């Protein structure tokens, strides 16, 4: 199983910051990616948002800067909001990243949980599904063919158009990022694409029927089991003790999710509810290393086996020092336990 980190490149304290402060925040983020590489983590992903509290509107740029300073770690989007993007440019950006990193680039394509990208790039939210289906089709066609003929509803047609550069790898890896929609799982399985599941609440085991749908769709479509990878992305943070982890993580988490919750109609965050989510079967992985490692293993078994787990931890107002310490514990303590099981 691969273990990694996903980041939304949060500004300090999730507030509007000066250009100097934002520059420093990105510098620290790149330092953490380099540190994760040195500590043996397998993958680092950068999200895509178009909001003041996140600096990841151009994730491939951050990943390219990290690529020049790392050697082993896979560098991926997490996720690319494909519905609001031009698949040609997405492919070119990540093929270039693949050349810079000498074959360590990936794309996780999704629709995103925030909607700011749609009006920003001139799209209608009511076309949410149609946009993604069409653009995924084009991205896959570009990935598989150097010269493309294609016509759709949302982009000018391509006629005998060659698209460059081509990636360092024979084929640029593309995963589908999903939430909890059955059709998304079935689509990924039918296409034979790896699946990255964002679990940000509830109990992880509730996704087992959806993962079964994915695997069955892949089987029916005749895809090799090896192609049907499953990844899991959840909120997580590791410290020396469970108490220290909660003490570090909860204040910033409460501020962030209460603020976002007001936009979405969620109730205010409470410590009681947080502890329920962080319980033995809950989606959150905030605690000491050995307990978190065994919780990842339990989640994997509950879903019939997973191939990748990524921690989302830097949008909770944690300091650079705290985040690096968490990465250190993941590399030195969690990964060895995972490898033994």
Instruction: Give the CATH number, domain containing residue 268.
Output: 3.20.20.30
Number of domains in the chain: 1
Percent of the chain with pLDDT over 70: 99
Per the prediction, the chain carries an average pLDDT of 94
Which tokens hold the place of 142?
């570009």
- Report the greatest alpha carbon distance in the chain: 60
Tell me the pLDDT band of 17, cut-offs 50, 70 and 90. confident
User: What is the structure's pLDDT at 15?
Assistant: 64
Q: Are strands 147-150 and 158-162 parallel, antiparallel or unpaired?
A: antiparallel
Q: Report the helix count and the strand count for the chain, using DSSP H and E.
A: 12, 12
Quote the distance between the C-alpha of residue 238 and its chain's center.
Answer: 18
Give yes or no for residue 316 having a pLDDT over 80.
no
User: What is the structure's pLDDT at 184?
Assistant: 94
What is the span of the domain harbouring residue 105?
Answer: 2-340
Beta bridge partners of 282: 203
Tell me the pLDDT band of 210, cut-offs 50, 70 and 90. very high
Q: Closest Cα to residue 296, out of 307, 329, 276? A: 307
Residue with tokens 């990936």: 106
CA distances from 315 to 13, 55, 134, 149, 206 (A): 8, 11, 31, 41, 25
Give yes or no for residue 262 having a pLDDT over 90.
no
Alpha-carbon distance 66 to 60, whole Å? 10
Q: Which residues are CB-neighbours of 268 under 8 A, at least 6 positions away?
A: 258, 261
Which tokens hold the place of 148?
């493309």
CB atoms within 10 A of CB 19: 7
Alpha-helical (H) ranges within 221-308 are: 242-264, 271-277, 289-302
User: What is the structure's pLDDT at 13?
Assistant: 60
Give yes or no for residue 7 having a pLDDT over 90.
yes
Q: Is the dihedral of CA 292, 294, 298, 304 positive or negative?
A: positive
Please tell me the least confidently modeled range out of 164-173, 225-234, 289-298, 311-320. 311-320
Give yes or no for residue 1 having a pLDDT over 60.
yes
Alpha-carbon distance 332 to 330, whole Å? 6
User: What is the structure's pLDDT at 14?
Assistant: 57
Give yes or no for residue 101 having a pLDDT over 80.
yes
CB 185 within 8 A of CB 195: yes
User: What is the structure's pLDDT at 11?
Assistant: 86
User: Which long-range contacts link 136-140 to residues 24+ away (Cβ below 8 Å)?
Assistant: 136/82, 136/87, 136/109, 136/176, 138/87, 138/88, 139/82, 139/87, 139/90, 139/91, 139/107, 139/109, 139/174, 140/174, 140/191
Alpha-carbon distance 325 to 251, whole Å? 18
Q: Closest Cα to residue 43, out of 11, 18, 7? A: 7
User: What is the structure's pLDDT at 178?
Assistant: 95
Give yes or no for residue 114 having a pLDDT over 90.
no
CB 242 within 8 A of CB 293: no
């Amino acid at each position: 199983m691969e273990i990694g980190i996903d980041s939304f490149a949060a500004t300090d304290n999730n507030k509007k910051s000066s250009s100097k402060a934002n520059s420093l925040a990105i510098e620290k983020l790149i330092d953490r990616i380099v540190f994760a590489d040195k500590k043996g983590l397998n993958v680092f992903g950068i999200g895509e948002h178009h909001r003041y509290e996140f600096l990841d509107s151009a994730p491939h740029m951050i990943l390219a800067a990290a690529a020049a300073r790392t050697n082993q770690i896979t560098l991926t989007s997490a996720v690319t909001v494909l519905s609001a993007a031009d698949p040609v440019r997405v492919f070119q950006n990540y093929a270039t990243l693949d050349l810079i990193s000498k074959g360590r680039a990936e794309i996780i394509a999704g629709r995103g949980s925030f909607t700011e990208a749609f009006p920003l790039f001139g799209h209608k939210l009511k076309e949410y599904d149609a946009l993604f289906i069409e653009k995924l089709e084009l991205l896959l066609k570009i990935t598989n063919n150097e010269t493309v003929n294609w016509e759709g509803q949302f982009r000018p047609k391509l006629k005998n158009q060659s698209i460059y550069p081509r990636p360092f790898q024979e084929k640029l890896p593309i995963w589908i990022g999903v939430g909890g929609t059955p059709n998304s799982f079935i689509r990924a399985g039918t296409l034979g694409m790896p699946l990255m599941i964002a679990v940000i609440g509830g109990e992880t085991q509730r996704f087992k029927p959806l993962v079964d749908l994915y695997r069955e769709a892949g089987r029916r479509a005749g895809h090799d089991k090896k192609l049907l990878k499953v990844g899991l992305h959840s909120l997580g943070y590791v410290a020396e003790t469970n108490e220290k982890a909660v003490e570090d993580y909860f204040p910033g988490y409460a501020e962030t999710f209460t603020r976002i919750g007001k936009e979405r109609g969620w109730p205010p965050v409470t410590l009681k509810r947080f502890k329920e989510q962080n319980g033995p079967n809950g989606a959150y992985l905030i605690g000491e290393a050995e307990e978190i490692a065994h919780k990842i293993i339990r989640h994997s078994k509950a879903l019939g086996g997973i191939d990748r787990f990524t921690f989302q931890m830097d949008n909770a107002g944690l300091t650079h020092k705290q985040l690096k310490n968490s990465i250190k514990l993941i590399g030195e303590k969690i990964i060895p336990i995972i490898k033994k099981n």
